[in-house]
Chains A and B, each alone.
Chain A
Amino acid sequence: MSLRFQRLILILLTLIILGAAILLIMFNTKQNIVFFYTPSELLENNIDSNIKLRIGGYVKKLSFVEKSLNKYEFKITDNSNDLLIFYEGMLPDLFREEQGIVIEGFIDRNKNIVASKVYAKHDENYMPASIKKELEKNNQWKKDYK
């Protein structure tokens, strides 16, 4: 094989790989994405019940009920709208009422969510409310803690 021919093959090979990569990216950004909503957005839009989605918000105070071992019901809220969540499985340790969480699952006909996964954020910060108030008074509370 001449030197030139070998180089040509190399360049072609590179182009093929590059093309394949672009195709893969385009295909996958269509297929493998999950939409993310807050409860209000979800209620505004009509969402197909076949699509997996993620919902972010807080666990509503006094909404958590344990139906039986590992079967739970609770509400997720963004302070204006709530959604009822059904979940069967293990809850993360950081899960508690008023904690920021993200759930993954499907919506059903009554606009309730059947969750397949529940994530709680593990933040580095934790702050009791009483001290938080004090700090806010002194203007030392700048950060967006949840």
Chain B
Amino acid sequence: MISLIGFSALCLSTIFSCIVLIPKSILQIEIKYFLFFIRSSTFLVCISFLSLIFAYVTSDFSNFNVFQNSHSEKPLIYKITGAWGNHEGSILLWVCMISIYGFIYSLLSKSLDSFKILVLKIQSGLFIIFCFFIIFTSNPFLVNSVMVEEGLGLNPILQDPALAIHPPMLYLGYVGFSLVFSLAIASLLETTNDRMWLLETQKWSIISWGFLTAGIALGSYWAYYELGWGGWWFWDPVENISLMPWIAGLALVHSLLMIKGEQAIQRWIVFLSILCFSLSILGTFLVRSGILTSVHSFAADASRGLFILLIFFVTTGFGFLVFLIKSPTKKNDLHLLLINKTSALIINNILMMIAVLTILIGTIYPIIIEVLTNTRISVGGPYFNSTVLPILLPGFLLMSIAPVLSWQTNKIKKFRVYVICFLILSLVITIQSYLTIFNPWGFVGLLLGSWIIVGSLISVILRYKFSLTSKYLKSINSFTAHIGVGVMIIGVTYSSVYQKEFNFNMKIGDEVNIENQLLKFDEIKIVDQENYQSLRVVFSLTNNNEIISYIDPGKNYYPVSKMITTEAGIYHAWLKDIYITLGSETDNQWFIKVYINPLVSFIWIGVFIMIFASIVAVIKK
């Protein structure tokens, strides 16, 4: 019953969106009714999604999708999140978000009515394409042909709070670029001198980018504690494809800054806007079609993949075609100097585009090779580390001073202060790395990261008078964001370069010494939880006979799917994480893997600062 409601609501919503697309020459719709159709379409697709959630919450196993991915004994939260823990449901969520973005745009936009209508029409076009995708290839409302009492359950590895909110966040980011795409196309089709669309693009691209950042970070945090591999980023294809729209979005956000200096290159902005959304769809295609061999595997289906490829070619082709035919003609001379803000922003964009290209090549290279030579290869972490990082280095170096550059001249105020500070900093870090273990990457990363932080702080102190107002926060916002990046760079460098790994065989009562701290195997606890049985090995971490913390890595056994998951035990401290995973057991001897991950917390702090900065950037004064 509820599936029927959901499916009809989805179809009706698609029809409403189709009505909106009828050209003016055939049917003249007043803006009042136009908005009515758009908004009721959103309303209906939300009902559709809510009815799917309802089916999950009530464990309605007459729905095939619920039967496949849910179980009546699952905690309520995972029943709800199970709705988007699978392909069909997640695409419904995606469609729902396209519509909601259009809805919010229709409420907030201050553009002229004609422009607004155009944007909403393009947005509805995208909405309809994806609705067809759902209806024809991935319908979450299929009726189950087998009568069953119980569902199959959600993969236990996905039953996790971070992963529950990871897909919605990521999708809010990906789908946000659909609105940016619509804005860009609309600006091409309707040439106005109105600069409103640039400001709107700026706002929406920052919002999308912020969500994408949060989504990627959540996924990576999940991988860190759930997979038990000791790391948080593996350059897996699935990870790379989320990084591409992220970097392209970042380039877009930066190129939009040129509005302030009256230097905006419309053509380039439109290009980037189209690119961001194209990369988002390309990512979905590569993940869902199963073309790439990934460790994080999703259910793959060739027919689905083909359909997404079609969507990709239609939207991207349409976008770039319009771009070629109706390319903005307005030209303004760029004020390029060595080095002022305009040229810095252009270098930034070039670097980011090269980085995107490098990642793209590395990700699809295996496909090309397989088609050409019929051998299969995989491109792993080493490729990306040794290409993407060196390419981004000059950008990082530029980043610390870029916000203080001027639009008109190539002089920097109080240049000498910066030079002196940089020299002092380099000296300090050289001595520091001489006294500890020297590692070239560690040295470069630390120097860059701390220079970005110090450089930004100097600028903030020298140029702005401190006050606790939102205006102050807004004016130093670009520095805040860059400090976030600096903090993250330090975290990334340290956690990867100086990670240490230990292996032990231990039984109850054993003690080992790790970096002057005593790790003791205390006891084994077995507890029955709501839908799983947990086994925890409790370790106590002591320093000078003082107990600092208990760490409890273990395993969960999920009887529904007969699966075991490893739960890493992590002791978080500001300066290092102690990360323990539990292996197998023979004769009461347990195999234990201990990682010391220095400064991992810096990565998450850096991400928080970046997201904070994007929130500040969006909020009105």
Contacts and interface: CB of A to CB of B under 8 A. Distances in A.
Nearest to A1: B338
Given A14-B347, A93-B555, A145-B299, A28 B387 contact: yes
Interface stretch (B170-178, B252-260, B456-464, B578-586): B578-586
A43 interface: no
B377 A70 contact: no
Interface residues of A, number: 52
A88 B152 CA distance: 33
Given A24-B386, A125-B299, A134 B375 contact: no
B293 A102 contact: yes
27 contacts: A7-B336, A10-B339, A17-B351, A17-B394, A21-B358, A21-B391, A25-B387, A33-B377, A33-B378, A34-B378, A34-B380, A35-B378, A36-B377, A36-B378, A56-B293, A90-B228, A93-B565, A122-B295, A122-B296, A123-B298, A124-B299, A125-B155, A134-B146, A135-B146, A140-B144, A142-B303, A144-B301
Contact of B295 (A32, A121, A143, A144): A121
A101 B63 CA distance: 31
A36 B297 contact: no
Contacts of B584: 66, 69-70, 90-91
A37 interface: yes
Contacts of A1: 338
A51 to B, nearest CB: 11
B94 to A, nearest CB: 16
Interface string B352-387: 001001100110011000000001111110110011
Contact of B383 (A3, A33, A94, A140): A33
Interface of B: 64, 68-69, 85-87, 142, 144-146, 148, 152-153, 155, 157-158, 228, 290, 293, 295-303, 336-339, 343, 346-347, 350-351, 354, 357-358, 361-362, 365-366, 375-380, 382-383, 386-387, 390-391, 394, 410, 505, 555, 561, 563-566, 581, 583-586, 589, 591, 593
A6 B338 CA distance: 5
Given A21-B354, A25-B361, A93-B563, A37 B391 contact: no
Contacts of A35: 375-378
B151 to A, nearest CB: 10
Interface of A: 1, 3, 6-7, 9-10, 13-14, 17-18, 20-21, 24-25, 28-29, 31-37, 54, 56, 66, 68-70, 90-91, 93-94, 102, 119, 121-128, 131, 134-135, 138, 140, 142-145
A29 B293 contact: no
A61 to B, nearest CB: 16
Contact of A90 (B86, B146, B354, B583): B583
B295 A124 contact: no
Contacts of B378: 33-36, 54
A17 B387 CA distance: 12
B361 A29 contact: yes
A14 B350 contact: yes
B387 A69 contact: no
